Structure 1
């Protein structure tokens, strides 16, 4: 009784309201290391606040469909790890998730910059807190370039010049770079953004911002990379089984010596590399007369609270604990990338818990200039129409002009109907 009276007196004096013990659920996707660390962190945070949190975790494949079904049936978890491009799908007007601004007395929002908070907001409603920030960055295998007597490319011209030298000195099966599928699409988007100073999708009109000629030039640039031996052709990659980069033995051995990847997956692609291979992140390669570096930067994921949660304040306590509590931060480490929370980044940096190369890749992404990326770039139907048409072009079934027109018309039709 004395403890209860003291607790009531404390909360009355501080203006805080005690939250009763709650039974919560949290859902996320990820790999085994993330699953293990998150469960341990949830146990710590649950013990700290007297809540019980049931974990619900899967791999990436199928997770979006699972969340969509749960949201439709109002059976989603109290706390959710969500993907940034899902915001326009599940919260078009900002009402799909709880507004975290309502929990400023529980969540220390001061640990995020205004820019980060805007990234998680829809119509002024804070739908999710960025767990980490990611972006596309160039990474090159310094070992392979050294063997060929080449410096790491600093410009697109350097990259093109490396191809014949590498093939002459190391073998015809060596390539200074890679790019098919999503990687190729984002190279085209990067180059076209640099040339035009515009993102693929105009945020004001929610239509494609580029002309047919501008996109066709970007597609032709990709084809030039294939024709000059900078990257393998789409057809050759498909014949080899379309293995993801981290499972490709030619990447592991250094025969493919460069990539344009998310900064947050450095460990995933560096881990399989053979002993002696060294991966180096570099600043974005730029075209002549570029109007912007064209960085493709976004929250890698967000933590959100269900608008249907019966215990939203308890959920907010756990969310804040996971992202800002020093012990929880230490448990989670860099399993979700370099943290966006200032205190979390400070804790992990001080403890040496983040690979210096990953920190450098993250620094390049944060310091590079860009024009802002619409989450609609990654709408599943937008991505599908771009990739399907791009593949037909890469196989020689369409001209660059025809492919560009089909991509633009297809995306505009999709966005008009959203």
Structure 2
């Protein structure tokens, strides 16, 4: 009997060693993410019998590093991938392993069909969303109360708030900010407005056609100019003259002179921590245009875990991915270092443990509940972002009018999309 048990244990040990794999995993982030991920990899590696070597950097230069590795076939077995990179790395859905093939290893039921559709290219699941994020307004409730106003719910109410701020608080008070160093905030503000009014997103995710007409773009550009002229948002030249400070480093944000922003639902601590004592930051539903057909939400996976198509140990890599995202021990270790988890099991566990602040939960729920057409990752394509950002900057400085800006945007974006389609 003892020999039989011993033989069984030896067989089990032999099987574990035979299935053991030496893996690599790459990601970007800050110190908290680096430390938590290394600890989680150690936990999952010991549990599964695999060795996982960590490769991590900051955000700067990470895309270039992955591009070089993919070109040479030297990428890690598991990679943290930015969702907008999919058109660059896997335009036909064959750049990474199809995770549908590992449905017996990875519990895909923890994600909704909608969440899995976003990183699916030509029917191939190219990564698992680590968290779902989106843009929504954050308002300094303290400043609005000081102006005698409620938090706005429409674009018209926000515009009116700009006038009241100037009358009651002073010319250096603004109810909103939407510029950003590359024009992304301005672009997202205008596309939210246009998506609500037209029911169309800027770039059709299926046909890759530019959806907005000349007249529609002119309408959004004139709205943006009106907001800057009336002091609803800080004019672009003034932001540049102030050194293009990021919001959380801007003293005018810290003391409530800037009282609103259009930011990701995941940035609560980043933008709330700098506020002076007594300032209260609250998330808000997306502002609506008159006659809006939807919320115009800009919602996307914040990042993905993908598996290399060149990996010799794809099944082992799939085991590790499942452990990181769906195992209770790993969930506790990683916490919210990659945002509020998209995995239902992880979200429920962290919520029950009180590991997610209520403000984060409220903001996240607004994004999940908001309506809008499916967006295309090409919206954040570097060439498209540059083309629109450069034109918006010229427009903001008064170098071109709305009609010229709209014509330039349509021409330049179509030029990039034509190259992609062909």
Normalising by structure 1, what TM-score?
A: 0.96
Q: What is residue 58 of structure 1 aligned with on the other side? A: 57
User: What secondary structure does 2:139 align onto?
Assistant: strand
Is residue 229 of structure 2 the alignment partner of residue 230 of structure 1?
Answer: no
Give the number of equivalent residue pairs: 414
1:169, distance to aligned residue in structure 2 (A): 2.5
Find the counterpart in structure 2 of residue 68 from structure 1: 67
Report Cα offsets for 1:334-371 as digits up to 9, x if no partner.
11111110100010000111111111111000101101
Distance 1:8 1:295, change over 3 A: farther
Over 6 Å off, 4+ runs: 9-12
Per mean C-alpha deviation after superposition, the further-off stretch among 108-117 and 156-165 is 156-165
| SS of aligned partner of 2:19 | coil
Deviations 1:374-399 (A, max 9, x none): 11111111111010011101100111
Structure 1: distance between partners of 2:105 and 2:268: 33
Q: 1:48 to 1:284 in 2, by over 3 A?
A: same
SS at 1:5's partner residue? helix
Cα 1:274/1:3, change in 2 over 3 Å: farther
Relative to 1, partners in 2 of residues 1:18 and 1:292: Cα closer, same or farther, differing over 3 Å?
farther
Q: Deviations over 1:304-333 (max 9, x none)?
A: 001111211111111101100111111111
Structure 2: how far apart are the matches of 1:59 and 1:78? 19
Matched, 1:38 2:37: yes
Distance in 2 between the 1:116 and 1:7 partners? Answer: 43
> Deviation at 1:65?
1.2
Q: Is the 8 A contact 2:268 2:360 kept in 1?
A: yes
Change in CA separation of 1:135 and 1:11 when aligned onto 2, cut-off 3 Å? farther
Alpha-carbon deviation of 1:164? 2.4
**Residue 179 of structure 1: SS of its match in structure 2?**
coil
For residues 400 and 293 of structure 2, the distance between their equivalents in structure 1, rounded to whole angstroms, comes to: 29
The partner residue of 2:348 within 322, 346, 349 is: 346
Deviation of 1:194 after TM superposition, in Å, equals 1.0
SS at match of 1:201: coil
CA distance, structure 2, for counterparts of residue 150 and residue 321 of structure 1: 48
RMSD: 1.8
Change (3 A) 1:343 1:67: same
The match for 2:142 is 143
Q: Does the CA contact (< 8 Å) of 2:340 and 2:347 recur in 1?
A: yes
CA distance in 2, matches of 1:4, 1:369: 59
Match of 1:269, SS? helix
2:205–2:374 CA contact under 8 A, matched in 1: no
Q: Alpha-carbon deviations, 1:253-279, whole Å to 9, x = none?
A: 111000111112222212222222111
In structure 2, what is the Cα distance between the partners aligned to 1:166 and 1:119?
Answer: 40
Deviation at 1:6, TM superposition (A): 4.7
Spell out, residue by residue over 1:66-111, the C-alpha distance to the aligned partner (whole angstroms, 9 max, x if none): 1111110111111111011111111011100011111112111111
Per the alignment, in what secondary structure is the counterpart of residue 191 of structure 2?
A: helix
Matched, 1:5 2:8: yes
Task: Note if contact 1:87-1:375 (Cα within 8 Å) is conserved in structure 2.
Answer: yes
- Answer yes or no: is the 8 Å Cα contact 1:207–1:411 preserved in 2: no
Q: How far is 1:204 from its partner?
A: 3.7
**1:153 alignment partner, SS class:** coil
List alignment gaps of at least 5 residues for structure 2. none
Identify which of 384, 408, 411 aligns with 2:410: 408
Residue of structure 2 equivalent to 1:21:
20
Partners of 1:332 and 1:250 in 2: CA distance: 34
- Rounded to whole Å, the distance in 2 between the matches of 1:51 and 1:129 is 21
Task: Compute the displacement of 1:203 (Å).
Answer: 2.8
1:186 counterpart residue number: 188
CA distance in 2, matches of 1:188, 1:221: 8
1:89-134 alpha-carbon deviations (Å, 9 max, x no partner): 1101110001111111211111111111111211111110011000
Correspondence list, 1:225-374, <5 A: 225-374=227-376
2:140–2:259 contact (8 Å) kept in structure 1? yes
State the alpha-carbon separation in 1 of the partners of residues 328 and 395 from structure 2.
50
5+ residue gaps in structure 1?
none
* TM-score of the pair, normalised by structure 2: 0.95
